[in-house]
Structure 1
């Protein structure tokens, strides 16, 4: 499986799960206590921020020089646990060692 196929499959799976996770509520009259941030419902501004940060993590993992099995495992961790997985990735993934061209200096 090529990297592009893996990326397309992971993106499609992530978008499908995000669409299913969106809350469906009956229309209710708006009140002064309207919860526009929608904490805990899987949507809203907070959900959008987490979604964008997770996409950034997926792109960074897939563009890294890790072996394919490790790329898949990091993507799976971030997919299954979006907030916790993203935090664990940024704290424990040793990102500097797996950057493309790490250890090389640019030519003059």
Structure 2
């Protein structure tokens, strides 16, 4: 249980995000005219910020590319996975 303690705060934040993922995945990312919906722009901005954060980390290039691929191919789910497991706050 002691090994899971650092992840409990992240899980508490991620659970509402996972519920949001289920709701948003049932909706279209695009409007009827083919343009991005409002939440599509928000998701794009969050993905770009996550990509910038990935490449600012002091990791090997392979690990950076792996995280970038996860975020790119799974936009909202990748953000949640990155937030939970990227190892932030460790010195």
TM-score calculated relative to the size of structure 2: 0.61
Match of 1:77?
A: 70
Match of 1:67?
A: 60
Gaps of 5+ in 2: 1-26, 31-35
Gaps of 5+ in 1: 1-38, 103-108
Q: Per residue, is there more helix in 1 or in 2?
A: 2
**Equivalences for 1:92-107 in 2 at 5 Å?**
92-97=85-90, 102=91
Alignment coverage as a number of residue pairs: 60
In the alignment, the residues of structure 2 paired with residue 51 and residue 45 of structure 1 have an alpha-carbon distance, to the nearest angstrom, of: 10
Higher relative contact order (CA 8 A, sep 6+): 2
In the alignment, the residues of structure 2 paired with residue 85 and residue 41 of structure 1 have an alpha-carbon distance, to the nearest angstrom, of: 16
Encode CA deviations 1:66-99: one digit per residue, 9 max, x unaligned: 11100000000000000000000001111223xx
In the alignment, the residues of structure 2 paired with residue 62 and residue 41 of structure 1 have an alpha-carbon distance, to the nearest angstrom, of: 26
Match of 2:38?
A: 45
TM-score calculated relative to the size of structure 1: 0.52
**CA RMSD of the aligned region, Å?**
1.2
SS across alignment from 1:40: coil
